[in-house]
Amino acid sequence: MVNTGKFEPEFIDANGVATVLSQDGATPPFVPTALKALTLGSSTGDEESMRINGSGIGHQFLLGDQTMMLQQRCVRVSFNAWQMLGLDGTVMGNMNLDAKSDRACVVFLTDLPIF
């Protein structure tokens, strides 16, 4: 499970230049927590899958042109803390970071449906 609380997600352009989401020009502007790590679990009732938890990246309700601004964008979400969990959900170890690290992040290309 991961935590992204300290660091604002960034768009990465084709030249590798990073811009934090809140300064990218969306109307209304993205809030710093627009994209963040969420705890995932299973509610299928399957005993094995109920024991395995993890994290994923989600977004809040998007307003104005924010959906269009997120289309086909490279995003970096940096982590400031994470936990290693055993298969039974017990915490095996904790890691906390005070500064950004290129090795403590996830980078992905967005592909949001447009309604």
Instruction: State pLDDT tens for residues 57-67.
Output: 888 888 999 98
35-59 confidence digits (pLDDT tens)? 887 777 655 555 554 445 667 788 8
Single pTM value for the model:
0.75
> Cβ(105)–Cβ(74) under 8 Å?
no
Q: What share of the chain in percent tops pLDDT 90?
A: 24
> Cβ(38)–Cβ(58) under 8 Å?
yes
